[in-house]
Structure 1
Amino acid sequence: MSATTISAPFSQAVVRAMRKLYPQALADSSWDNTGLLLEAPFVPSRRQSNTVLLTIDLTKAVADEAIALNSSIIVAYHPIIFRGLKALTLANSQQQTLLRLASHGISVYSPHTAIDAAPGGLGDWLADIVTGTRSSDDYADSDLQSESQASTKGQSDEDPFLTVKRPTYTLNHHPSQTTLRLAKLPSTTVNTTTVPHARRPIIPHSPELASHPGAGMGRIVQFNKPQPLPILLDRIGKGLNNPKGFPIAIPQNATLSDISIQSVGICAGSGGSLLGNLDVDLLFTGEMTHHEALAAIEKGQVVISLFHSNSERGFLAEVLRVQLEETVQEEWAKVREEEKDNKEFKEALAEVDFEVEVSEVDRDPYGIVVLKNDVE
């Protein structure tokens, strides 16, 4: 019997759900590479579970996690295939990951800038944080926050980079999905302390999609009244689940308490090219180069940089997981109806339940080293 050339029916439902939520037409196709990047053939004798794993970066560790979960498909925000491939070999670490996933029947979908541009996507999630529309208090379970604090206190004992007997520093990464599990609340849940403001895309999508009006790259937030910078820093810290810190650049003749912000330019990931020419008070992004930040503060602007993927990762648990649970439910029912007469899919279609998981091992490559006094 020849090998099938059709992917798993559940994977098909996930791809349809992602395209419905974040159409590829919204992505910046001039440089980005989005969509179904790896389509693993369906093998009835080695059927995957109805599990989709969400991650920002598809690393070896995330691939191991997906294989351990017996996932059907990975939704990786960043494309693991970015430029044309002339070969697929085990010598290249990323190609090795793709080959391993294919051998285990796991497909890969990447939405990237389609999520950035979509209304209610990454740009609006960051705008919600800076305006107080959404904070960690809206989503975090109090018991799990306590577990997170306990875990943080004990993490130096488990970190192989630390000297246990006489620690002089701790290495801290952004809070993980394990320690900051988010409650499954409706995506419409908002904080009643939202600060009055207007927002718009930096570059509106053209032509506008009837299904996604108001889409576009980046966001500009205009507050009705100026906001003290320390208040914004507090909102951002809470909205990011209280990381140990993040970089900020301010004009050299100013202090934090001197500065008020009325306008904010927002870009997830690397924001230098999109934000560089904006006439706003604050540039809020994942990363900017030294010279981009220097040019900004010379113009009197403030730059807040979250580390590249930390400006994106929280979106997976707070927004995308909930959206997929709802939309995959609809698309999975449709696929099961459409393929009900397909004998090859019989066992796979009989399994109604599915899981949307957020990677526990995905993290930004950078952590923050917090120095301590030496212990005698």
Structure 2
Amino acid sequence: MSADTSSAPFSRAVVRAMQKLYPKALADNSWDNTGLLLEAPFDSSRRQTNTVLLAIDLTQAVADEAIAVKSSIVVAYHPIIFRGLKSLTLENSQQKTLLRLASHGISVYSPHTAVDAAPGGLGDWLADIVTGTKTSYDASPSAAVTPALQSEGDQDPFVQPKGEATLSVQRPTFQLQHHPSQTTLRLSKDPPKTTLIPHTRRPIVPQSPEIKTHPGAGMGRVVEFKEAQALPALLDRIGKGLNNPKGFPIAIPQNAQIGDIEIRSVGICAGSGGSLLGNLDVDLLFTGEMSHHEALAAIEKGQVVISLFHSNSERGFLAEVLREQLEDTIEGEWQTIRDEEKGDETLKDALADDEFEVAVSEMDRDPYGIMVFKPQVEE
């Protein structure tokens, strides 16, 4: 393969690694568009770094970031191309992003629902947060998680104040530690200390036919606890597992009190979960977003809904799981490509560098934030 008709050698190593970790066969190819979406030609006169940039959404800001660090490839979870393109112009922001990246020799790979379905992928990462399961780090779970502490003057959003009517607490708010930016919504290398909650889990829609290299794959997850869990404790576990976001929406049945609700089963779907979770007979629906009518139907059936905002149910996976997976897998694939193509003089400089970096975008964020109003002080 000649250099003028191929992408950068390191980009090809990343593609091989992604396809090994998350084969396209795992994706819902009835509607999704996964795989290598943009293959930028390699130019030996334009030396790029052996860097892959991870993001949920390939926005113009993320593209600027990739260009600035001279990445070889962007792995963007959401496909920037969903439907067929009839033109590529600078008037359309997404098309402009693709053209700019191509002009800088940067390719784009999107795994999307292949990551959702894979064992150890996005669905299992969310299930790990709910259950306190150790994911990719080495630290062992230890101390139990308890609901967040509060000072005497704070009103407990979970507890019905004495002497007040039941209808006085219809919109409970679970407040977590304030963080200045949605970009902090990812786990650190020092994970929160939790105790594993005994449970079983299974895909909502098992992979059919099953892929031998990825047994147990399928869309969504159902978690069933061995013992009922208090909802406040689960909320605290989720908040800590997501590195304490500013807050997230929760819907509970009319007239119910959060402190009285116990959860025995959870349906999980990253992103937009309404269609996958709608018919599940579980106590809690845990997802990125649901429509008004989907959430209303759920609480009318006695279910609880937690929605994190669409991409906030996905973004933490990049830093906590995918980065480490890629670092381990790319190492072998990069060495293989360097061995296979070491005789090509046009690739000599590109192949000489055995170092590489898997970076998580600092510009990638959910379009929504949370506006926290300060209480009005009466004079």
Provide the residue aligned with 1:182 in structure 2.
Answer: 188
CA contact under 8 A between 1:172 and 1:370: conserved in structure 2? no
Aligned with 1:238: secondary structure? helix
Change (3 A) 1:254 1:58: same
CA contact under 8 A between 2:192 and 2:240: conserved in structure 1? no
CA contact under 8 A between 1:173 and 1:366: conserved in structure 2? no
Q: Percent identity?
A: 76
What is the TM-score normalised by the length of structure 2? Answer: 0.86
Q: Summarize deviations over 1:235-255 as a string: whole Å, max 9, x none.
A: 100010000100000000211
Aligned with 1:75: secondary structure? strand
Change (3 A) 1:352 1:122: same
Distance across 1 between alignment mates of 2:96 and 2:361: 20
Distance across 2 between alignment mates of 1:11 and 1:135: 27
Distance across 2 between alignment mates of 1:230 and 1:273: 26
In structure 2, the gaps of 5 or more residues are 140-177
Provide the residue aligned with 2:113 in structure 1.
Answer: 113
Q: Summarize deviations over 1:161-214 as a string: whole Å, max 9, x none.
A: xxxxxxxxx99542437xx7833x8xxx99671100000000000110010000
Residue identity matched to 1:176: T
Distance across 2 between alignment mates of 1:21 and 1:3: 26
Provide the residue aligned with 1:328 in structure 2.
Answer: 330
CA contact under 8 A between 2:179 and 2:246: conserved in structure 1? no
Provide the residue aligned with 1:47 in structure 2.
Answer: 47
1:138-287 equivalences under 5 Å are 173-176=181-184, 182-183=188-189, 193-287=195-289
* 1:55 CA displacement: 0.2
Residue identity matched to 1:182: S
CA contact under 8 A between 2:203 and 2:222: conserved in structure 1? yes
Distance across 1 between alignment mates of 2:115 and 2:343: 35
CA contact under 8 A between 2:182 and 2:245: conserved in structure 1? yes
Q: Summarize deviations over 1:292-341 as a string: whole Å, max 9, x none.
A: 00000000000000000000000000000000000000100000001111
Q: Summarize deviations over 1:86-126 as a string: whole Å, max 9, x none.
A: 00000000000000000000000000000000000000000
Provide the residue aligned with 2:11 in structure 1.
Answer: 11
Aligned with 2:267: secondary structure? strand
Q: How many residues align?
A: 339
Residue identity matched to 1:269: G
In structure 1, the gaps of 5 or more residues are 140-169
Aligned with 2:78: secondary structure? coil
Quote the RMSD (CA, aligned, Å): 2.2
CA contact under 8 A between 1:272 and 1:289: conserved in structure 2? yes
Aligned with 2:4: secondary structure? coil
Residue identity matched to 1:51: T
Match of residue 370, structure 1, among 357, 369, 372: 372
Aligned with 2:287: secondary structure? strand
Residue identity matched to 1:115: V
* 1:342 CA displacement: 1.1
Provide the residue aligned with 1:133 in structure 2.
Answer: 133
Aligned with 2:182: secondary structure? coil
Aligned with 2:305: secondary structure? strand
CA contact under 8 A between 1:138 and 1:191: conserved in structure 2? no
Q: Summarize deviations over 1:141-177 as a string: whole Å, max 9, x none.
A: xxxxxxxxxxxxxxxxxxxxxxxxxxxxx99542437
2:101 pairs with 1:95: no
Change (3 A) 1:136 1:334: closer
